[in-house]
Amino acid sequence: MIESIRGRSLLSLDDLSKEAIVEVLDTAESFVEVNRRSIKKVPALKGRVVASLFFEESTRTRLSFETAAKRLSADVLSLAVASSSVKKGESLRDTIATIDALGIDAVVLRHRSSGAAMQVSRYVPHVRVINGGDGQHQHPTQGLLDAFTIRQVLSEQRGTTGLESGSELFHGLKILIVGDIRHSRVARSDVAAYATLGAEVRICAPGTLLPDGVATWPVTVVHDVDEALAWADVVGLLRLQSERGSGAFVASLDEFTFTHGLTVERARLLKSEALIMHPGPMNRGVEIDSRVVDSSQAIVERQVSNGVPIRMAVLYLSVAGSREGQAQ
């Protein structure tokens, strides 16, 4: 169990303690404030070099990480590897060695293969590796920003602040995750974050889109989506990963919408104060109806805007921090 990500790589939320997660959320509160300033920049990572290495293109996530790094005054080496000469079959180790030779303190890695971040952290143990999404494994900063967004919005509703809410707010909170859990790194990180923080997590998906061994996950699998929606305080939807072959896991997109899509009709089953989340990019009309996205219960935009402060917090703790006992 990792008690704090200070001075460490962030590869997965599976092995983070509650304290470690809360520390990131609390630190992010400070950065929300920084992001409200007219000068949205602090010198915390001045002179540090953060490489962003995206083997799989994701403009949104890359911009979010690079903005975070720049607002911490880090120098950013940006490599859009997905569109460069580095293609499938080129040694991951060689690419990392090349970047490392330029002198870097941290690398943000996005890769289409599960485990790539862990492999890289083995190749360059002196570099802090921030997993920006690896295959179907984990997307830790998304999990953290989802938890942060829930805490932020619910705290506002209750007239308090995220800092004051701490992790208490999650105790017994009813969170439902619907959709393609099997192929989703976001689902794996969300489940880890929510369960560790003390929430009650249910998941609902067509049988083919449940992961292997789901019975051992800290969640309850439910099959009646309507009943689950009425139960939930928070509903997290996931992108149907058609590019990862989920198309073959359900009969058709239409049928998925029919069985598990958050349609206007289904949205009526939700509690009036229930929150609707989606990590993006959305397949409007498939897992979620456009009109539901635009409803006041949807906090998708809050998720997006919290991406930068969460990633600032992660970079700050991981890169600026030194591990306990390693100080000086």
Partner 1 sequence: MSAIIIRQGLVVGAHASSVADVLIVDGKIVEVGTVDDAPSDAHEVDARDCWVGPGFVDLHAHLREPGREAAETIESGARAGALGGYCALVAMPNTEPALDSVALVAYVLERGLRTPLDIAVAGAITKDRRGESLAPMAEMAALGVRLFTDDGVGVQDPSVMRRALTYAKPLGVRLAQHCEDEQLAAGGTMNEGVLSGRLGLVGRPALAEELMVLRDIELVRLTGSPLHFLHLSTSRSLEMVVRARDEGLPVSFEVAPHHFTLDESACATYDPVFKVHPPLRSRGDVEALVEALRRGVVDAVATDHAPHAPELKDLAFDEAPAGMLGLEHAASLTFEALGPSPDPQTFFQVLSRGPARIAQLRRDDERVRHSAHGGAMVVGTDANVTVFDPAGRWSVDRHALASRSMNTPYDGRALVGRVSATIAKGRLVVDEGRLT
Partner 2 sequence: MGNEDERQARTRGLAFTAKSQLMTADDVKRALWRMAHEIVERNHAVGTLSIIGLQTGGKEPAVALASILAEISGEPLSAGMLDVSFYRDDLSRNPLPTSSATDIDHDLTDRTVVLVDDVLFTGRTIRAALNALSDWGRPRAVQLAVLVDRGHRELPIRPDYVGKNLPTSQDEAIVASLDGVWIGTRTSS
Quote the DSSP letter at residue 64. Answer: H
Residue 128 contacts residue 106 (beta carbons within 8 Å): yes
Closest CB to partner 1 among 115 and 166?
115
Q: Does 94 bind partner 1 (CB under 8 A)?
A: yes
Applying CB under 8 A, which part among 77-85, 133-141, 158-166, 303-311 lies near partner 1? 133-141
Q: Does 216 bind partner 1 (CB under 8 A)?
A: yes
Among 92, 221, 230, 269, binds partner 1 (CB under 8 A): 92
Quote the DSSP letter at residue 271. Answer: -
Q: H or E element: which one contains 145?
A: helix 140-157
Q: What string marks each residue from 7 to 46 as x (binds partner 2 by CB under 8 A) or -?
A: -------------------xx-xx--xx--xxx-xxxx--
Q: H or E element: which one contains 109?
A: strand 106-111
Cα-based distances in Å from 208 to 115, 129, 235, 242, 249? 23, 33, 20, 13, 6
Among 116, 150, 262, 275, binds partner 1 (CB under 8 A): 116
For tokens 């040694």, the residue is 91
Among 7, 115, 280, 321, binds partner 1 (CB under 8 A): 115
Residue 185 contacts residue 135 (beta carbons within 8 Å): yes
Residue 106 contacts residue 51 (beta carbons within 8 Å): yes
Q: Does 85 bind partner 2 (CB under 8 A)?
A: no
Task: Please report, as ranges, the residues that interact with partner 1 according to CB under 8 A.
Answer: 14, 88-89, 91-94, 111-116, 118-119, 122, 134-138, 185, 188, 211-214, 216-217, 245
Task: Please report, as ranges, the residues that interact with partner 2 according to CB under 8 A.
Answer: 6, 26-27, 29-30, 33-34, 37-39, 41-44, 72, 163, 316-317, 320-322, 324, 327-328
